[in-house]
Amino acid sequence: MALVAIDNLAEVLLFRHMQLAQEIGGESWANDVPRLGKRGQERFRRDFKFRVRLAQKGSDDLIIERIFRSLLSRADASIFRVAHTYRNRVYHADHHNSTILPLIAGAYLKAVGRAFVASQPTGIESLGDPFSGDLAKYGYCPKREGAFAPEEAAIQIVEHLSDGLSVSLKEAKKELIADLVWRTEWAEQMTTELERQGLSRDRIEHGIAWSEFWEKVAGRNDEVAKLANDEARLWRTTVRGEGETIEDRFQAGQKRSDLVFGMWREFTPTLSLAEIPQLRRLSAKLSSAKSSEALFSRYRILDEETEVLERYLGELAIGWDKHIQEEEERARGN
C-alpha cells in the first residue's frame, strides 16, 4: 500500500511537470521548454518511461529555470522506473519479494521527495503567508519569521518525513542481489513444474520466443491488427447469416496467418531459458557498484529483463493449465 501511495505521488509530480512545460511553452515560442504535440501527449499518458525521460528535462534559460527545472537525476530516474515496475508487479500480479519492499519503497519516497523539491520555484519568498504555521508540524521552520519560501519549505519537510529511511549502499546491494536470486529461482522452479506437467523444454523455449515475437513484432503490426479485425467481422456476419461464407472467413484467417508466420520466420529471439542462470550470475556483480546511482541503474536493466521472463513463463503456465483442463474435459466427453 505504501509503494502504491508513493507511486501516485510520483505520477502527480510527473504530470505537473509536463503540464507546466506546456503552459510555459504556450506563452511564447521563445521559451526554452520541452513541448509535446498530440502524439507526444498520447505517449505521455500510456508510457511511464516516457514520462520519466520528460521529467529529466529542464530549461537552459536562466529565468525560466527558476520555475521549471529537471525533476530527476539519472539515479532518481532509475529508482522511479524500478519502483514503478515493482509497484505494478505487486498491484497487478501479486508477485513480488516482500523482503525488498522496504528498500524499494524507501528509495522511491526519497527520490519522490527530491523531485518535489525540484518542482518548487527558486529564489522566491513571501511575507505573512498563512500556511507557514500549518507546515511547522511537518518540520518547516522558516529562516525568517513570518516568511514562506517554497523551496526552503520543501527541503525541510522532505528531510523531516524521510528521516530514518536511508539505507547503506552495502545493505542495498545485499537486498537487490537477493531479490534477483529469489526471482531467478522462481523462474527455474516454474520451468521444472511445467516440465513435470508434460510441457517439454523445447516447447517452453518456443513459448518464450513466441511471446517475445508477439510483443515486439506481430502485436505491434498495424496490418496484422487490421486482418484480425476483418476476420472477426467476417466471423460475426457468417454466424448471423448476413452474406459472407465460411470460405470468406477461412481466406481472411489464412491471409493473417501467412503474414504472421512470414514475420516469424524472419524473427530472431533474444530471450531463452539460458538467460535465467545468466541473470543470476550478473546479479552477483551488483556488489561492485560504487554508488547508489550505479547500483540502481544496473539493477534496473537486470530487473526489466527478469520481469519479462517472469511474465512470459507465467503466461505460458496459465495457457498450459487451460490446455490440460480442456483435454481432461474432452476425455470425459464434455
Secondary structure (DSSP) of 245-311? -HHHHHHHHHHHHHHHHHHHHT------TTHHHHHHHHHHGGGG--SHHHHHHHHHHHHHHHHHHHH
Q: How many domains does the chain have?
A: 3
With a CB cutoff of 8 Å and minimum separation 6, the contacts of 218 are: 224, 260, 263, 264
State residue 206's pLDDT score. 94
If asked whether residues 113 and 209 sit together in one domain, one would say no
Asked if 239 and 291 sit in the same domain, the reply is no
Co-location of 182 and 74 in the same domain: no
Predicted confidence at residue 302, as pLDDT, reads: 92
Q: What is the mean pLDDT of residues 230-239?
A: 74
Q: Is residue 80 part of a domain?
A: yes
Same domain? For 319 and 177 the reply is yes
For residue 228, being part of any structural domain is answered with yes
308 and 282 in one domain?
yes
C-alpha cell at 306: 527478469
My answer on whether 321 and 232 are in the same domain is: no
Domain that holds residue 236: 224-262
Q: 147 pairs with which residues across the strands?
A: 127
Q: Can you give the pLDDT at residue 244? A: 60
Residues 82 and 108 in one domain: yes
Please list, in sequence order, all residues whose beta carbon lies within 8 angstroms of the beta carbon of residue 129, skipping any fewer than 6 positions away: 146, 147, 148
pLDDT(73) > 80: yes
Percent of the chain, pLDDT > 70? 94
In a domain, residue 94? The reply is yes
Q: What is the pLDDT of residue 252?
A: 77
Q: Answer whether residue 308 is part of any domain.
A: yes
For residues 98 and 181, state if they share a domain: no
* Calpha distance 143→225 (Å, rounded): 61
Residues 242 and 179 in one domain: no
Same domain as 233, residue 316: no
Tell me, yes or no, whether 12 and 112 share the same domain: yes
Residue 147 sits at φ, ψ, to 5 deg, of -100, 160
Q: How far apart are CA 271 and CA 141, in angstroms?
A: 54
Q: Which residue has the higher pLDDT, 177 or 252?
A: 177
